[in-house]
Amino acid sequence: MLLALLVLALITAALAAPAIVRAVSRRTHALGAGRRRAHRPDAIAYDPGRERRAEQRARQLLRSCVNDEEWGMYRDLGFIRVDGRKRAGRRGGEPSEVAGQAAAGRPGSEAPPAPYAYLVYPHKPILAYVPGSGQLLSEYCVEFPDLTSGGSGRLPASDDVLAKWMALTSDESRVIGRANMHLVGRQLDPARVRRDLWRLSEWERRRGNRGSVEARRA
């Protein structure tokens, strides 16, 4: 009788052993992860309220830096157009060079004020295009990661737009040189970009800005 009970206990222990090992292992991993989280100073939980307040402040800062037209564009359309600063055909691979070729192929295209322009979206690549023809040139993938602060290191959306605007209007070559250039379509949907250009032309037409290239094309 005693022998039978002993055998039964051994069989039960052998059957339960894998489940016990798995439970102990899970518990050990959970404790380790908790300790790692506790010791990592940059582990800041996502707080939607804080992010919303940050975005509100960022919008105020953006509004105070750009002109009324650019602010209205961002508020109504969600992006800002920035005219290219460089003359066409200076350096290979840059929008000015491609736009120069495009302009040369168009009849009656004598030196428009801005041979190329950029659409600046928050947390998306900068898009270069030719305002006169609507030709999409390329997308420039660029980020402004803050590696010194905790959390994601990602600026609020309006700060990202302002950073791109400041970089493009002050030192276009430097920011374009640091960006990864791709054909349009890698991250931005060409159909959506064309729709945005149409929205921009309609927006400018409604504002009475008939002098702009987009409004004339509409």
Partner 1 sequence: MIQIKFLRMKPGHGEVLLAEGDPRVREEEERLVEEFRRQLDEGMWAAVPTENPGSGRREARMVRDYSDIPLQAERVIFFPRAAGG
- The piece of 4-12, 89-97, 108-116, 135-143 that touches partner 1 (CB under 8 A) is 135-143
Q: Name which position in 162, 184, 188, 215 contacts partner 1 (CB under 8 A).
A: 162
Residue (of 133, 86, 135) closest to 107 by Cα position: 133
Q: Does 95 bind partner 1 (CB under 8 A)?
A: no
For residue 187, give the 3-state DSSP assignment. Answer: coil
- The piece of 9-17, 59-67, 92-100, 106-114 that touches partner 1 (CB under 8 A) is 59-67
Q: Name which position in 27, 87, 178, 217 contacts partner 1 (CB under 8 A).
A: 178
Q: Does 47 bind partner 1 (CB under 8 A)?
A: yes
For residue 36, give the 3-state DSSP assignment. Answer: helix
Q: Does 66 bind partner 1 (CB under 8 A)?
A: yes
Between 55 and 202, CB nearer to partner 1: 55
Q: Does 166 bind partner 1 (CB under 8 A)?
A: yes
User: Burial, 147: exposed, middle or buried (Cβ in 10 Å; 0-12, 13-18, 19+)?
Assistant: exposed
In angstroms, give the least distance from the CB of 107 to partner 1. 30
Task: Please name the amino acid found at residue 18.
Answer: P
In angstroms, give the least distance from the CB of 158 to partner 1. 8
Residue (of 194, 178, 102, 84) closest to 140 by Cα position: 178
- Determine the angle formed by the axes of helices 157-178 and 48-65, rounding to 10 degrees: 60
Place of tokens 């070559």: 173
Q: Does 100 bind partner 1 (CB under 8 A)?
A: no
Q: What is the dihedral of CA 86, 92, 94, 100, to 10 degrees?
A: 60
Number of residues binding to partner 1, judged by CB under 8 A: 47
Rg (CA), the chain: 28
Chain positions contacting partner 1, by CB under 8 A: 44, 47, 50-51, 53-58, 60-61, 64-67, 70, 125, 141-149, 151-156, 159, 162-163, 165-167, 169-171, 174-175, 178-180
